[in-house]
Chains A and B, each alone.
Chain A
Protein backbone atom coordinates (compact mmCIF):
# COMPACT_ATOMS: atom_id res chain seq x y z
CA UNK A 1 0.00 0.00 0.00
CA UNK A 2 2.89 2.35 0.69
CA UNK A 3 6.55 2.39 1.57
CA UNK A 4 7.92 0.87 4.78
CA UNK A 5 8.23 3.45 7.51
CA UNK A 6 11.21 4.54 9.48
CA UNK A 7 10.91 3.54 13.15
CA UNK A 8 7.63 5.25 14.01
CA UNK A 9 7.35 7.61 16.93
CA UNK A 10 4.16 7.42 18.89
CA UNK A 11 1.48 9.77 20.01
CA UNK A 12 1.99 13.25 21.42
CA UNK A 13 -0.74 12.44 23.96
CA UNK A 14 0.28 11.33 27.44
CA UNK A 15 -0.62 7.71 28.24
CA UNK A 16 -3.67 7.14 30.43
CA UNK A 17 -5.74 9.81 28.70
CA UNK A 18 -9.00 9.21 26.93
CA UNK A 19 -9.08 10.23 23.28
CA UNK A 20 -11.90 12.65 24.16
CA UNK A 21 -9.49 14.46 26.46
CA UNK A 22 -6.51 14.63 24.11
CA UNK A 23 -5.08 18.14 23.86
CA UNK A 24 -5.85 20.24 20.75
CA UNK A 25 -3.83 19.48 17.60
CA UNK A 26 -2.59 16.16 19.06
CA UNK A 27 -0.30 14.36 16.65
CA UNK A 28 0.63 10.76 16.00
CA UNK A 29 4.12 11.46 14.72
CA UNK A 30 4.67 8.20 12.87
CA UNK A 31 1.81 8.81 10.46
CA UNK A 32 3.28 12.06 9.20
CA UNK A 33 6.62 10.35 8.60
CA UNK A 34 5.06 7.47 6.65
CA UNK A 35 3.62 9.56 3.79
CA UNK A 36 0.76 7.06 3.53
CA UNK A 37 -0.94 6.29 0.23
CA UNK A 38 -4.49 5.01 -0.08
CA UNK A 39 -4.95 1.28 -0.73
CA UNK A 40 -5.80 0.11 -4.27
CA UNK A 41 -9.32 -1.10 -5.12
CA UNK A 42 -8.13 -4.70 -4.86
CA UNK A 43 -6.52 -4.13 -1.49
CA UNK A 44 -9.68 -2.45 -0.25
CA UNK A 45 -11.89 -5.39 -1.19
CA UNK A 46 -9.52 -7.91 0.44
CA UNK A 47 -9.38 -5.76 3.55
CA UNK A 48 -13.17 -5.36 3.72
CA UNK A 49 -13.71 -9.08 3.39
CA UNK A 50 -11.31 -9.73 6.28
CA UNK A 51 -13.02 -7.10 8.43
CA UNK A 52 -16.47 -8.52 7.70
CA UNK A 53 -15.41 -11.98 8.89
CA UNK A 54 -13.57 -10.79 11.96
CA UNK A 55 -16.14 -8.32 13.25
CA UNK A 56 -19.36 -10.22 12.40
CA UNK A 57 -20.06 -11.39 15.94
CA UNK A 58 -19.07 -8.06 17.53
CA UNK A 59 -21.27 -6.12 15.12
CA UNK A 60 -24.11 -8.48 16.05
CA UNK A 61 -23.93 -7.21 19.65
CA UNK A 62 -24.87 -3.76 18.36
CA UNK A 63 -27.88 -5.13 16.48
CA UNK A 64 -29.82 -6.48 19.42
CA UNK A 65 -33.54 -5.82 19.21
CA UNK A 66 -35.60 -5.34 22.34
CA UNK A 67 -37.48 -8.49 23.35
CA UNK A 68 -41.06 -8.61 24.60
CA UNK A 69 -39.74 -10.27 27.72
CA UNK A 70 -37.60 -7.25 28.53
CA UNK A 71 -40.37 -4.76 27.78
CA UNK A 72 -42.72 -6.50 30.20
CA UNK A 73 -40.23 -6.48 33.05
CA UNK A 74 -41.08 -4.30 36.03
CA UNK A 75 -38.67 -2.16 37.99
CA UNK A 76 -39.53 -0.62 41.32
Chain B
Protein backbone atom coordinates (compact mmCIF):
# COMPACT_ATOMS: atom_id res chain seq x y z
CA UNK B 1 0.00 0.00 0.00
CA UNK B 2 1.24 3.47 -0.80
CA UNK B 3 2.33 5.90 1.86
CA UNK B 4 -0.66 8.29 1.87
CA UNK B 5 0.68 10.35 4.73
CA UNK B 6 3.07 11.90 2.23
CA UNK B 7 5.93 11.44 4.68
CA UNK B 8 8.95 9.19 4.61
CA UNK B 9 8.78 6.48 7.28
CA UNK B 10 11.58 5.90 9.73
CA UNK B 11 13.98 3.22 8.58
CA UNK B 12 17.14 1.93 10.22
CA UNK B 13 20.54 1.50 8.61
CA UNK B 14 20.85 -1.97 7.15
CA UNK B 15 23.96 -4.12 7.49
CA UNK B 16 24.34 -7.20 5.32
CA UNK B 17 26.90 -9.53 3.80
CA UNK B 18 27.78 -8.84 0.16
CA UNK B 19 26.22 -11.42 -2.10
CA UNK B 20 27.32 -11.18 -5.74
CA UNK B 21 24.20 -13.04 -6.88
CA UNK B 22 21.67 -10.66 -5.35
CA UNK B 23 23.44 -7.29 -4.95
CA UNK B 24 22.03 -4.67 -4.71
CA UNK B 25 18.81 -5.65 -2.96
CA UNK B 26 15.56 -4.75 -4.69
CA UNK B 27 17.08 -3.83 -8.07
CA UNK B 28 16.17 -5.77 -11.20
CA UNK B 29 19.05 -7.46 -13.05
CA UNK B 30 20.53 -5.47 -15.91
CA UNK B 31 23.94 -5.07 -17.59
CA UNK B 32 24.72 -2.39 -15.00
CA UNK B 33 23.87 -4.66 -12.10
CA UNK B 34 25.97 -7.47 -13.58
CA UNK B 35 28.90 -5.13 -14.16
CA UNK B 36 28.75 -3.70 -10.63
CA UNK B 37 28.52 -7.19 -9.11
CA UNK B 38 31.64 -8.30 -11.02
CA UNK B 39 33.50 -5.10 -10.17
CA UNK B 40 32.74 -5.17 -6.45
CA UNK B 41 33.32 -8.91 -6.14
CA UNK B 42 36.77 -8.44 -7.71
CA UNK B 43 37.53 -5.66 -5.25
CA UNK B 44 36.82 -8.14 -2.47
CA UNK B 45 33.50 -6.72 -1.28
CA UNK B 46 32.35 -8.63 1.78
CA UNK B 47 29.77 -6.42 3.47
CA UNK B 48 27.24 -3.72 2.67
CA UNK B 49 25.82 -0.82 4.62
CA UNK B 50 22.62 0.72 3.29
CA UNK B 51 21.09 4.07 4.14
CA UNK B 52 17.41 3.51 3.31
CA UNK B 53 16.73 7.22 2.86
CA UNK B 54 19.23 9.45 1.16
CA UNK B 55 18.48 12.82 -0.40
CA UNK B 56 20.72 13.08 -3.42
CA UNK B 57 21.39 16.52 -4.92
CA UNK B 58 21.28 15.26 -8.50
CA UNK B 59 18.14 13.22 -8.01
CA UNK B 60 16.34 16.03 -6.20
CA UNK B 61 17.03 18.26 -9.22
CA UNK B 62 15.76 15.50 -11.53
CA UNK B 63 12.73 15.06 -9.32
CA UNK B 64 11.93 18.78 -9.38
CA UNK B 65 12.38 19.03 -13.14
CA UNK B 66 10.70 15.83 -14.26
CA UNK B 67 9.63 13.06 -11.90
CA UNK B 68 7.55 15.17 -9.47
CA UNK B 69 4.79 15.69 -12.03
CA UNK B 70 4.65 12.12 -13.24
CA UNK B 71 1.43 10.27 -12.36
CA UNK B 72 3.52 7.31 -11.17
CA UNK B 73 4.16 9.00 -7.82
CA UNK B 74 7.92 8.77 -7.53
CA UNK B 75 9.51 9.30 -4.14
CA UNK B 76 12.01 12.11 -3.76
CA UNK B 77 14.34 9.98 -1.63
CA UNK B 78 16.98 7.52 -2.81
CA UNK B 79 18.89 4.78 -1.05
CA UNK B 80 22.67 4.91 -0.67
CA UNK B 81 24.62 1.69 -0.56
CA UNK B 82 28.20 1.49 0.76
CA UNK B 83 30.47 -1.51 0.14
CA UNK B 84 33.32 -2.69 2.35
CA UNK B 85 35.99 -5.35 2.10
CA UNK B 86 35.65 -6.14 5.81
CA UNK B 87 33.49 -9.16 6.69
CA UNK B 88 30.07 -8.23 8.02
CA UNK B 89 30.73 -8.65 11.75
CA UNK B 90 34.05 -6.77 11.58
CA UNK B 91 32.46 -4.00 9.55
CA UNK B 92 29.66 -3.64 12.09
CA UNK B 93 32.11 -3.63 14.99
CA UNK B 94 34.32 -1.03 13.28
CA UNK B 95 31.30 1.09 12.44
CA UNK B 96 29.96 1.11 15.99
CA UNK B 97 33.48 1.63 17.37
CA UNK B 98 33.98 4.60 15.05
CA UNK B 99 30.60 6.04 16.05
CA UNK B 100 31.89 6.07 19.62
CA UNK B 101 34.98 8.00 18.61
CA UNK B 102 37.46 5.14 18.10
CA UNK B 103 39.91 6.51 15.53
CA UNK B 104 41.49 3.10 14.85
CA UNK B 105 38.09 1.65 13.99
CA UNK B 106 37.38 4.56 11.63
CA UNK B 107 40.72 4.01 9.91
CA UNK B 108 39.95 0.29 9.52
CA UNK B 109 36.55 1.15 8.08
CA UNK B 110 38.06 3.60 5.59
CA UNK B 111 40.81 1.21 4.54
CA UNK B 112 38.22 -1.37 3.61
CA UNK B 113 35.83 1.14 2.02
CA UNK B 114 35.17 0.34 -1.65
CA UNK B 115 32.76 3.14 -2.48
CA UNK B 116 29.08 3.95 -2.67
CA UNK B 117 26.19 4.04 -5.08
CA UNK B 118 22.99 6.03 -4.94
CA UNK B 119 19.96 3.94 -5.90
CA UNK B 120 17.15 6.11 -7.28
CA UNK B 121 13.50 5.11 -6.97
CA UNK B 122 13.34 4.67 -10.75
CA UNK B 123 12.98 0.97 -11.47
CA UNK B 124 14.23 1.06 -15.06
CA UNK B 125 17.32 3.20 -14.47
CA UNK B 126 18.14 3.03 -10.76
CA UNK B 127 21.81 3.95 -10.54
CA UNK B 128 22.56 7.52 -9.57
CA UNK B 129 25.90 8.94 -8.40
CA UNK B 130 28.28 6.04 -7.95
CA UNK B 131 31.91 6.28 -6.91
CA UNK B 132 33.97 3.12 -6.61
CA UNK B 133 37.59 2.48 -5.80
CA UNK B 134 39.90 1.61 -8.71
CA UNK B 135 40.92 -1.98 -9.32
CA UNK B 136 44.14 -2.82 -7.44
CA UNK B 137 47.27 -1.79 -9.38
CA UNK B 138 49.20 -4.84 -10.51
CA UNK B 139 51.71 -3.33 -12.95
CA UNK B 140 54.17 -0.98 -11.23
CA UNK B 141 56.17 -0.44 -14.45
CA UNK B 142 53.24 1.04 -16.35
CA UNK B 143 50.72 2.14 -13.73
CA UNK B 144 47.32 3.47 -14.71
CA UNK B 145 47.10 7.21 -15.23
CA UNK B 146 44.04 8.26 -13.23
CA UNK B 147 44.68 11.97 -12.84
CA UNK B 148 40.99 12.93 -13.31
CA UNK B 149 40.09 10.96 -10.17
CA UNK B 150 39.42 13.02 -7.06
CA UNK B 151 38.57 12.42 -3.41
CA UNK B 152 34.94 12.08 -2.31
CA UNK B 153 33.72 11.93 1.27
CA UNK B 154 30.42 10.24 2.14
CA UNK B 155 29.11 10.97 5.64
CA UNK B 156 27.12 8.30 7.47
CA UNK B 157 25.99 9.23 10.99
CA UNK B 158 28.73 11.84 10.92
CA UNK B 159 31.46 9.34 10.03
CA UNK B 160 33.52 10.41 7.04
CA UNK B 161 34.02 7.59 4.53
CA UNK B 162 36.64 8.57 1.97
CA UNK B 163 37.13 7.25 -1.52
CA UNK B 164 39.19 8.34 -4.52
CA UNK B 165 37.48 7.88 -7.86
CA UNK B 166 35.26 9.70 -10.32
CA UNK B 167 31.48 9.73 -10.22
CA UNK B 168 29.47 7.68 -12.70
CA UNK B 169 25.73 7.35 -13.18
CA UNK B 170 23.26 5.69 -15.48
CA UNK B 171 21.32 7.82 -17.93
CA UNK B 172 17.66 7.97 -17.02
CA UNK B 173 16.42 9.24 -20.43
CA UNK B 174 14.03 11.53 -18.56
CA UNK B 175 16.48 14.23 -17.65
CA UNK B 176 19.69 12.92 -19.13
CA UNK B 177 20.99 11.04 -22.15
CA UNK B 178 24.40 9.42 -22.51
CA UNK B 179 25.89 12.74 -23.59
CA UNK B 180 24.54 14.42 -20.44
CA UNK B 181 25.97 11.88 -18.02
CA UNK B 182 29.30 11.81 -19.90
CA UNK B 183 29.45 15.60 -19.44
CA UNK B 184 28.38 15.24 -15.81
CA UNK B 185 31.33 12.92 -15.13
CA UNK B 186 33.61 15.30 -17.00
CA UNK B 187 32.49 18.23 -14.83
CA UNK B 188 33.13 16.23 -11.66
CA UNK B 189 36.85 16.49 -12.49
CA UNK B 190 37.18 19.58 -14.71
CA UNK B 191 34.99 21.81 -12.52
CA UNK B 192 36.67 20.80 -9.29
CA UNK B 193 38.36 23.99 -8.23
CA UNK B 194 37.65 27.12 -6.29
CA UNK B 195 35.96 28.90 -9.22
CA UNK B 196 33.41 26.41 -10.53
CA UNK B 197 30.47 24.43 -9.18
CA UNK B 198 29.62 20.93 -10.37
CA UNK B 199 26.30 21.09 -12.22
CA UNK B 200 23.48 18.58 -11.89
CA UNK B 201 22.30 16.62 -14.92
CA UNK B 202 19.28 18.94 -15.08
CA UNK B 203 21.52 22.00 -15.29
CA UNK B 204 23.61 20.33 -18.00
CA UNK B 205 20.59 19.46 -20.14
CA UNK B 206 19.02 22.91 -19.66
CA UNK B 207 22.22 24.79 -20.47
CA UNK B 208 22.77 22.64 -23.56
CA UNK B 209 19.30 23.55 -24.80
CA UNK B 210 19.24 27.16 -23.63
CA UNK B 211 20.55 28.68 -26.83
CA UNK B 212 20.31 25.70 -29.17
CA UNK B 213 16.94 24.02 -28.61
CA UNK B 214 16.98 22.77 -32.23
CA UNK B 215 13.20 22.52 -32.16
CA UNK B 216 13.25 19.63 -29.73
CA UNK B 217 11.77 19.32 -26.25
CA UNK B 218 14.20 19.55 -23.34
CA UNK B 219 12.64 16.79 -21.19
CA UNK B 220 12.49 13.87 -21.63
CA UNK B 221 16.06 14.08 -22.84
CA UNK B 222 15.93 10.93 -24.90
CA UNK B 223 16.91 12.77 -28.12
CA UNK B 224 20.45 13.17 -26.82
CA UNK B 225 22.67 16.19 -27.48
CA UNK B 226 24.51 17.48 -30.50
CA UNK B 227 28.17 18.44 -30.13
CA UNK B 228 27.16 22.10 -30.50
CA UNK B 229 24.90 21.66 -27.48
CA UNK B 230 27.56 19.85 -25.47
CA UNK B 231 29.97 22.73 -26.15
CA UNK B 232 27.31 25.23 -25.05
CA UNK B 233 26.85 23.34 -21.82
CA UNK B 234 30.60 23.43 -21.16
CA UNK B 235 30.68 27.18 -21.84
CA UNK B 236 27.77 27.69 -19.44
CA UNK B 237 29.97 26.25 -16.67
CA UNK B 238 32.65 28.85 -17.33
CA UNK B 239 34.96 26.37 -19.04
CA UNK B 240 36.29 26.15 -22.59
CA UNK B 241 35.21 23.28 -24.84
CA UNK B 242 38.12 21.66 -26.68
CA UNK B 243 36.74 19.60 -29.58
CA UNK B 244 39.05 17.40 -31.65
CA UNK B 245 37.59 16.05 -34.84
CA UNK B 246 38.85 12.81 -36.36
CA UNK B 247 41.77 13.25 -38.76
CA UNK B 248 40.64 10.52 -41.18
CA UNK B 249 37.90 11.36 -43.67
CA UNK B 250 35.36 8.62 -44.33
CA UNK B 251 32.23 8.29 -46.44
CA UNK B 252 29.51 10.98 -46.17
CA UNK B 253 31.94 13.39 -44.49
CA UNK B 254 32.13 11.22 -41.38
CA UNK B 255 35.40 11.64 -39.50
CA UNK B 256 37.43 8.92 -37.81
CA UNK B 257 40.68 8.96 -35.87
CA UNK B 258 43.99 7.43 -36.77
CA UNK B 259 44.84 5.22 -33.75
CA UNK B 260 48.00 7.24 -33.08
CA UNK B 261 46.33 10.64 -32.92
CA UNK B 262 43.44 9.29 -30.87
CA UNK B 263 45.78 7.70 -28.33
CA UNK B 264 48.14 10.68 -28.12
CA UNK B 265 45.28 13.18 -27.75
CA UNK B 266 43.39 11.20 -25.09
CA UNK B 267 46.62 10.61 -23.18
CA UNK B 268 47.50 14.32 -23.28
CA UNK B 269 44.15 15.33 -21.73
CA UNK B 270 43.94 12.51 -19.20
CA UNK B 271 47.51 12.99 -18.04
CA UNK B 272 46.58 16.61 -17.42
CA UNK B 273 43.63 15.58 -15.23
CA UNK B 274 40.88 16.34 -17.78
CA UNK B 275 38.44 13.53 -18.59
CA UNK B 276 37.58 13.14 -22.27
CA UNK B 277 34.09 12.71 -23.71
CA UNK B 278 34.33 10.43 -26.73
CA UNK B 279 31.59 10.60 -29.35
CA UNK B 280 31.53 7.33 -31.22
CA UNK B 281 29.63 5.38 -33.80
CA UNK B 282 28.28 2.13 -32.37
CA UNK B 283 28.86 -1.15 -34.21
CA UNK B 284 26.97 -4.19 -32.98
CA UNK B 285 28.84 -7.43 -32.33
CA UNK B 286 28.06 -8.31 -35.97
CA UNK B 287 29.52 -5.03 -37.23
CA UNK B 288 26.13 -3.45 -37.96
CA UNK B 289 26.23 0.36 -37.47
CA UNK B 290 23.85 1.87 -34.91
CA UNK B 291 23.58 5.49 -33.79
CA UNK B 292 26.03 7.67 -31.93
CA UNK B 293 27.02 7.10 -28.33
CA UNK B 294 28.96 9.23 -25.86
CA UNK B 295 31.24 7.86 -23.15
CA UNK B 296 33.72 9.49 -20.82
CA UNK B 297 37.35 8.33 -20.64
CA UNK B 298 38.68 8.75 -17.10
CA UNK B 299 42.08 7.04 -17.22
CA UNK B 300 44.48 4.98 -19.27
CA UNK B 301 47.35 2.57 -18.93
CA UNK B 302 50.24 3.65 -21.12
CA UNK B 303 52.04 1.23 -23.37
CA UNK B 304 55.77 1.04 -22.79
CA UNK B 305 57.90 3.54 -24.72
CA UNK B 306 57.99 2.38 -28.34
CA UNK B 307 61.20 1.19 -29.98
CA UNK B 308 62.03 4.01 -32.38
CA UNK B 309 64.50 3.49 -35.23
CA UNK B 310 67.40 5.95 -35.35
CA UNK B 311 66.49 9.29 -36.89
CA UNK B 312 62.73 8.91 -36.28
CA UNK B 313 60.26 10.52 -33.89
CA UNK B 314 57.23 8.58 -32.63
CA UNK B 315 54.39 9.47 -30.29
CA UNK B 316 55.15 8.14 -26.80
CA UNK B 317 51.44 7.35 -26.42
CA UNK B 318 50.92 5.88 -29.88
CA UNK B 319 49.70 2.75 -28.18
CA UNK B 320 47.64 2.65 -25.03
CA UNK B 321 47.47 -0.65 -23.19
CA UNK B 322 44.03 0.22 -21.90
CA UNK B 323 41.55 3.07 -21.83
CA UNK B 324 39.25 3.23 -18.76
CA UNK B 325 35.82 4.53 -19.55
CA UNK B 326 32.65 5.48 -17.68
CA UNK B 327 29.99 4.07 -19.98
CA UNK B 328 26.42 4.73 -18.91
CA UNK B 329 25.40 1.49 -20.65
CA UNK B 330 27.68 -0.57 -18.41
CA UNK B 331 29.28 1.11 -15.42
CA UNK B 332 32.33 2.97 -14.13
CA UNK B 333 35.93 2.29 -15.18
CA UNK B 334 35.14 -0.17 -17.98
CA UNK B 335 38.39 -1.35 -19.54
CA UNK B 336 38.62 -0.91 -23.30
CA UNK B 337 41.45 -1.69 -25.68
CA UNK B 338 42.35 0.45 -28.66
CA UNK B 339 42.23 -1.42 -31.95
CA UNK B 340 42.71 -0.62 -35.62
CA UNK B 341 39.51 -1.22 -37.62
CA UNK B 342 39.00 -1.40 -41.39
CA UNK B 343 36.20 0.94 -42.47
CA UNK B 344 34.61 1.11 -45.93
CA UNK B 345 36.03 3.98 -47.98
CA UNK B 346 39.08 4.50 -45.75
CA UNK B 347 42.54 3.24 -46.73
CA UNK B 348 44.16 2.90 -43.30
CA UNK B 349 42.76 1.30 -40.18
CA UNK B 350 40.93 3.73 -37.88
CA UNK B 351 40.78 3.83 -34.08
CA UNK B 352 38.14 1.56 -32.53
CA UNK B 353 37.43 0.72 -28.90
CA UNK B 354 36.56 -2.78 -27.79
CA UNK B 355 35.90 -3.92 -24.25
CA UNK B 356 38.76 -5.85 -22.71
CA UNK B 357 37.07 -8.05 -20.08
CA UNK B 358 39.10 -8.44 -16.91
CA UNK B 359 40.02 -11.91 -15.75
CA UNK B 360 38.31 -12.67 -12.46
CA UNK B 361 40.43 -11.54 -9.52
CA UNK B 362 38.20 -12.59 -6.64
CA UNK B 363 34.79 -12.92 -8.24
CA UNK B 364 33.13 -16.29 -8.84
CA UNK B 365 33.98 -17.48 -12.34
CA UNK B 366 30.31 -18.08 -13.20
CA UNK B 367 29.26 -14.46 -12.63
CA UNK B 368 27.90 -12.99 -15.87
CA UNK B 369 30.25 -10.30 -17.15
CA UNK B 370 28.44 -7.95 -19.58
CA UNK B 371 31.73 -6.61 -21.01
CA UNK B 372 32.35 -9.94 -22.74
CA UNK B 373 29.78 -9.31 -25.45
CA UNK B 374 29.60 -5.59 -26.08
CA UNK B 375 29.55 -3.17 -28.98
CA UNK B 376 32.56 -1.84 -30.82
CA UNK B 377 32.81 1.94 -30.53
CA UNK B 378 34.40 3.87 -33.40
CA UNK B 379 35.38 7.37 -32.18
CA UNK B 380 34.40 10.36 -34.36
CA UNK B 381 35.28 13.24 -32.03
CA UNK B 382 36.67 13.87 -28.59
CA UNK B 383 35.72 16.70 -26.28
CA UNK B 384 37.35 18.06 -23.13
CA UNK B 385 36.49 20.98 -20.86
CA UNK B 386 39.49 23.14 -20.05
CA UNK B 387 39.90 26.12 -17.74
CA UNK B 388 39.27 29.33 -19.65
CA UNK B 389 42.89 30.40 -19.11
CA UNK B 390 44.15 27.66 -21.46
CA UNK B 391 43.94 29.03 -24.98
CA UNK B 392 46.39 26.54 -26.45
CA UNK B 393 44.99 23.38 -28.04
CA UNK B 394 46.37 19.90 -27.38
CA UNK B 395 46.79 19.50 -31.15
CA UNK B 396 49.01 22.58 -31.31
CA UNK B 397 51.09 21.32 -28.40
CA UNK B 398 51.46 17.88 -29.98
CA UNK B 399 52.44 19.42 -33.32
CA UNK B 400 55.15 21.54 -31.66
CA UNK B 401 56.37 18.46 -29.82
CA UNK B 402 56.48 16.47 -33.07
CA UNK B 403 58.69 19.08 -34.75
CA UNK B 404 61.09 19.31 -31.80
CA UNK B 405 61.29 15.53 -31.51
CA UNK B 406 61.90 15.07 -35.24
CA UNK B 407 64.70 17.66 -35.23
CA UNK B 408 66.29 16.10 -32.16
CA UNK B 409 66.06 12.62 -33.69
CA UNK B 410 67.74 13.79 -36.92
CA UNK B 411 70.49 15.49 -34.93
CA UNK B 412 71.17 12.39 -32.82
CA UNK B 413 71.20 10.14 -35.89
CA UNK B 414 73.75 12.45 -37.54
CA UNK B 415 75.94 12.08 -34.45
CA UNK B 416 75.67 8.34 -34.20
CA UNK B 417 73.38 6.02 -36.10
CA UNK B 418 73.38 3.51 -33.26
CA UNK B 419 71.43 5.93 -31.08
CA UNK B 420 67.72 5.15 -31.06
CA UNK B 421 65.08 7.58 -32.27
CA UNK B 422 63.08 9.90 -30.08
CA UNK B 423 59.57 9.97 -28.59
CA UNK B 424 57.32 12.92 -27.78
CA UNK B 425 54.28 13.44 -25.57
CA UNK B 426 52.48 16.35 -23.98
CA UNK B 427 50.15 17.56 -21.26
CA UNK B 428 48.77 20.64 -19.56
CA UNK B 429 49.67 21.24 -15.93
CA UNK B 430 48.96 23.85 -13.34
CA UNK B 431 52.36 25.42 -12.80
CA UNK B 432 52.16 24.59 -9.10
CA UNK B 433 51.35 20.92 -9.90
CA UNK B 434 54.28 20.68 -12.31
CA UNK B 435 56.66 22.06 -9.67
CA UNK B 436 55.15 20.12 -6.77
CA UNK B 437 54.39 16.73 -8.33
CA UNK B 438 55.80 16.29 -11.82
CA UNK B 439 59.33 17.61 -11.32
CA UNK B 440 60.00 15.53 -8.16
CA UNK B 441 59.05 12.41 -10.10
CA UNK B 442 61.66 13.35 -12.78
CA UNK B 443 64.40 14.79 -10.61
CA UNK B 444 65.73 14.39 -7.10
CA UNK B 445 68.12 16.13 -4.75
CA UNK B 446 70.46 18.74 -6.28
CA UNK B 447 69.09 18.66 -9.87
CA UNK B 448 65.56 19.11 -8.48
CA UNK B 449 66.55 22.03 -6.29
CA UNK B 450 68.48 23.60 -9.18
CA UNK B 451 65.56 23.26 -11.59
CA UNK B 452 62.97 24.67 -9.17
CA UNK B 453 65.14 27.62 -8.28
CA UNK B 454 66.06 28.37 -11.89
CA UNK B 455 62.39 28.36 -12.91
CA UNK B 456 61.74 31.00 -10.26
CA UNK B 457 64.87 33.10 -10.85
CA UNK B 458 65.69 32.89 -14.56
CA UNK B 459 62.34 32.68 -16.34
CA UNK B 460 59.79 35.39 -17.06
CA UNK B 461 56.56 35.16 -15.03
CA UNK B 462 54.74 32.00 -16.07
CA UNK B 463 51.04 31.39 -16.65
CA UNK B 464 48.77 29.53 -14.20
CA UNK B 465 48.66 26.56 -16.61
CA UNK B 466 51.62 25.50 -18.74
CA UNK B 467 51.75 23.25 -21.77
CA UNK B 468 54.51 20.65 -21.40
CA UNK B 469 56.06 18.88 -24.39
CA UNK B 470 58.29 16.01 -23.31
CA UNK B 471 60.97 14.75 -25.66
CA UNK B 472 62.57 11.44 -24.70
CA UNK B 473 64.93 8.76 -25.87
CA UNK B 474 63.67 5.30 -25.00
CA UNK B 475 61.92 5.75 -21.68
CA UNK B 476 64.42 8.40 -20.56
CA UNK B 477 63.32 12.05 -20.68
CA UNK B 478 65.66 14.25 -22.71
CA UNK B 479 63.99 17.59 -22.09
CA UNK B 480 60.65 19.23 -21.22
CA UNK B 481 59.58 22.42 -22.98
CA UNK B 482 57.23 24.61 -20.91
CA UNK B 483 54.86 26.68 -23.05
CA UNK B 484 52.75 29.71 -22.28
CA UNK B 485 49.11 28.63 -22.72
CA UNK B 486 47.54 32.07 -22.58
CA UNK B 487 48.24 33.52 -26.01
CA UNK B 488 47.16 33.02 -29.62
CA UNK B 489 49.00 30.37 -31.64
CA UNK B 490 51.26 32.72 -33.67
CA UNK B 491 52.29 34.52 -30.47
CA UNK B 492 52.80 31.38 -28.38
CA UNK B 493 56.28 31.01 -27.02
CA UNK B 494 58.05 28.73 -24.58
CA UNK B 495 59.00 30.02 -21.15
CA UNK B 496 61.84 27.59 -20.70
CA UNK B 497 63.04 24.08 -21.28
CA UNK B 498 64.55 21.71 -18.76
CA UNK B 499 67.34 19.54 -20.13
CA UNK B 500 67.48 16.26 -18.20
CA UNK B 501 70.53 14.96 -20.14
CA UNK B 502 73.78 16.49 -21.42
CA UNK B 503 72.29 17.39 -24.79
CA UNK B 504 72.74 20.67 -26.70
CA UNK B 505 69.28 22.25 -27.09
CA UNK B 506 69.78 25.97 -27.67
CA UNK B 507 69.79 25.46 -31.45
CA UNK B 508 66.17 24.26 -31.30
CA UNK B 509 63.64 26.89 -32.31
CA UNK B 510 61.44 28.59 -29.69
CA UNK B 511 62.28 26.54 -26.62
CA UNK B 512 62.91 29.45 -24.23
CA UNK B 513 65.48 29.69 -21.48
CA UNK B 514 67.61 26.58 -21.02
CA UNK B 515 67.73 25.08 -17.55
CA UNK B 516 70.21 22.24 -17.14
CA UNK B 517 68.63 19.80 -14.73
CA UNK B 518 71.16 16.96 -14.50
Contact = CB atoms under 8 A, between A and B. Distances in A.
B399 A75 contact: no
**Interface centre among A7, A8, A13, A18, by most B CB within 10 Å?**
A18
B206 interface: no
B335 to A, nearest CB: 17
Contact of B473 (A11, A25, A51): A11
A62 B504 CA distance: 27
Interface string B475-493: 1111000000000000000
Contact of A24 (B231, B396, B448): B448
A63 B294 CA distance: 23
Q: How large is the interface on A (under 10, 10 to 19, 20 to 34, 35 or more residues)?
A: 35 or more
Q: How large is the interface on B (under 10, 10 to 19, 20 to 34, 35 or more residues)?
A: 35 or more
Given A19-B475, A72-B228, A76-B292, A37 B504 contact: yes
B407 A51 contact: yes
Contacts of A11: 473-476
Given A5-B418, A21-B441, A30-B419, 18 more contacts: A13-B476, A14-B141, A18-B304, A19-B316, A20-B145, A24-B441, A25-B445, A25-B447, A27-B476, A28-B501, A37-B504, A47-B410, A51-B406, A63-B395, A64-B244, A64-B245, A74-B225, A75-B177
12 contacts: A1-B414, A1-B415, A16-B142, A17-B142, A18-B142, A21-B142, A21-B441, A24-B440, A25-B518, A69-B254, A70-B246, A73-B380
Interface of B: 141-143, 145, 177-179, 222-228, 231, 243-247, 253-255, 258, 260-261, 271, 279-280, 291-294, 302-305, 313, 316-317, 380-381, 395-396, 398-399, 402-403, 406-407, 410-411, 414-416, 418-420, 423, 425, 440-445, 447-448, 470, 472-478, 500-504, 506-507, 509, 518
Interface of A: 1-2, 4-5, 7-8, 10-22, 24-28, 30-32, 34-39, 43-44, 47-48, 50-51, 54-55, 58-67, 69-76
